[in-house]
Amino acid sequence: MTFTDSPIPAGDTAPARTIRLGDQWLTTELTVLRELYGTGGAQAVHQRLPHRSLASIRAKAAAEGVRGVRQSTLGKRFARIYPQRDDIDMAVREGYIHAKAKGDIKALAERLGRPGWWVQKRAAQLGVTRTNTTRLDSWMKPELEILELYAAAGLDVIAKKLREAGYRRTPTAIAVQLKRRQIDRTDPDRWSATQLAPLFGVNPSTVADWIERRGLPAKKSGQGIRAAQLCHRKDIRRWIAANPGRVDLRRVDQAWFWDVMFGVVA
């Protein structure tokens, strides 16, 4: 759309000019944009070209590649850059080599005047970070032997056995290590009612009835009504001997049955 000023009256020296509104910018307008946008921003251009909105001025400046006033960074936060130094790198290498206890790396970061995350990142770049097998809290061979020996026991029991041997591990750390090493926690001398049912060749409810009404000894594995009831090998052997009529030898798992009756009791 084009608007043209009315004819100039006699005696008026102001020249007539044409103002175009829309997408098309006049050469004179572009000249004003380039002259003022870099020093005064869109506001300065708008004062000279009031028919152009601030949004259109900024859009045209971006399209023409005209840079505006650089925004001040006063009050803004930027990530601190820590310059690379040979003496710092050497200290990181030596610190990781001589670290003997937890907290040594943290103390190293404080001595270097660097945050802990920076020291760890730089150590990774230098190739001196610890792995799961070399970290300070890695499991010792005697600990793993105890872990495997008492894997079927509760986490608190395993922690107690480790403490007795001079090692301190939390139940959470023990659970993670059991899962990481895929250690079988099945007790070869204990079975739940659900596990015993196919071995005896009967329904699980039958085994539950033996436990509740027929004298088969069982001990709950934990708290709550859903805790499994476990039967020990020696108790099963004694119960079978005392109740031979309740066991159908044609339906039992033969290998398991003879192992229970004549195998070694832990």
Q: What is the pLDDT of residues 155-190, one digit of tens each?
A: 888 889 999 999 989 888 898 888 888 887 777 788
Report the distance separating Cα 107 and Cα 111, nearest Å: 6
Same domain, 246 and 194: yes
Whether the CB-CB separation of 61 and 68 falls below 8 Å is answered with: yes
Same domain, 176 and 194: no
Same domain, 196 and 234: yes
- CB atoms under 10 Å from CB of 266, counted, come to 11
Domain-embedded: residue 74: no
Same domain, 90 and 41: no
Same domain, 171 and 212: no
Task: Produce one character per residue of 32-50: b if its CB has 16 or more CB atoms within 10 Å, e if not.
Answer: bbeebbeeebbebbbeebe
Residue with tokens 């400046």: 61
Same domain, 205 and 228: yes
Q: What is the pLDDT of residues 76-123, one digit of tens each?
A: 676 788 888 899 999 999 888 888 777 888 899 999 999 988 998 898
Report the distance separating Cα 62 and Cα 255, nearest Å: 83
The pLDDT score that the predictor gives to residue 157 is 83
Same domain, 115 and 148: no
Range of the domain at 155: 141-180
Same domain, 223 and 257: yes
Same domain, 226 and 205: yes
Domain-embedded: residue 73: no
Which stretches of the chain are assigned E, i.e. beta strand?
A: 2-4, 18-20, 190-192, 219-220, 229-232
Same domain, 39 and 95: no
Mean pLDDT throughout 216-225?
82
The pLDDT score that the predictor gives to residue 22 is 52
Q: What is the pLDDT of residues 31-74, one digit of tens each?
A: 999 998 888 888 899 999 999 998 999 999 988 888 877 766 66
Report the distance separating Cα 66 and Cα 55, nearest Å: 14
The CATH number that applies at residue 258 is 1.10.1660
Domain-embedded: residue 233: yes
Residue with tokens 């798992």: 253
Same domain, 60 and 117: no
Report the distance separating Cα 86 and Cα 76, nearest Å: 31
Domain-embedded: residue 135: no
Q: Which amino acid is at 199?
A: L
Domain-embedded: residue 49: yes
Residue with tokens 């890695």: 138
pTM: 0.39
Domain-embedded: residue 238: yes
The pLDDT score that the predictor gives to residue 2 is 46
The count of structural domains within the chain is 4
Domain-embedded: residue 101: yes
Domain-embedded: residue 7: no
Mean pLDDT throughout 185-204?
88
Same domain, 120 and 147: no
Interhelix angle 254-262/233-242, rounded to 10 degrees, is 100
